[in-house]
Amino acid sequence: MNHSIIELYLSMNDLDKDELLVLMNLTDDELDRYDTLSFFDLPVKLIHGLAVLSNRQIGDVMNELEMMYFSQDKLRGFGFLLQRHNVSFPDLEFALYTNIQEAEDLGIAVLPFIPNLIKHRDLTITEAIEKEMEQAIKLLNAKINATGVNYLDEFDKTDFDPND
């Protein structure tokens, strides 16, 4: 990831890092260690501290942090899911990536996907991830086709690296 979500949250909400350190009785080193953690590994007390500092509900802060985290994934949540389960579908990853890029270029907001693996009860986790990726691609294709514009046909596949 490019930026820590803590740093990003503080910046986007015009909050002072030093105030967070004092409020939570943390050192710079401790906060720096939190900065290296994934969203799923952040301590609840940190999220609570951000909520107090920003005068917001903890659930709202958690949702915003989660959206920030998944937005840093070029595959809008699928990259982290693929990595977590140690699977890869190169063709689907490329199709999803190009559709995300095309949709955003057309002004279509692409929020992070929240795959529902539970609905695929008869499949393995790997198969369920594949199905969810296929459905995400179909959804994006429908939104892109509704605009009537298609100009990414020349997109160079060698430029794509989902881990970048």
Q: SS in 3 state form for the chain?
A: CCCCHHHHHHHHCCCCHHHHHHHHCCCHHHHHHHHCCCHHHCCHHHHHHHHHHHCCCHHHHHHHHHHHHHHCCCCCCHHHHHHHCCCCCHHHHHHHHHHHHHHHHCCCCCCCCCCCHHHCCCCCHHHHHHHHHHHHHHHHHHHHHHHCCCCCCCCCHHHCCCCC
> What are the pLDDT digits (tens) for 86-125?
999 999 999 999 999 999 998 998 888 888 888 999 999 9
Q: What is the pLDDT of residue 111?
A: 84
pLDDT band at 9 (very low <50, low <70, confident <90, very high): very high
> What are the pLDDT digits (tens) for 14-72?
999 999 999 999 999 999 899 888 788 899 999 999 999 999 999 999 988 988 887 77
Q: Does the pLDDT at position 77 exceed 60?
A: yes
> What are the pLDDT digits (tens) for 116-162?
888 999 999 999 999 999 999 999 999 998 887 655 554 455 555 65
Q: What is the pLDDT of residue 150?
A: 57
pTM summary value: 0.62
Residue ranges of the domains in the chain? Answer: 5-71, 78-159
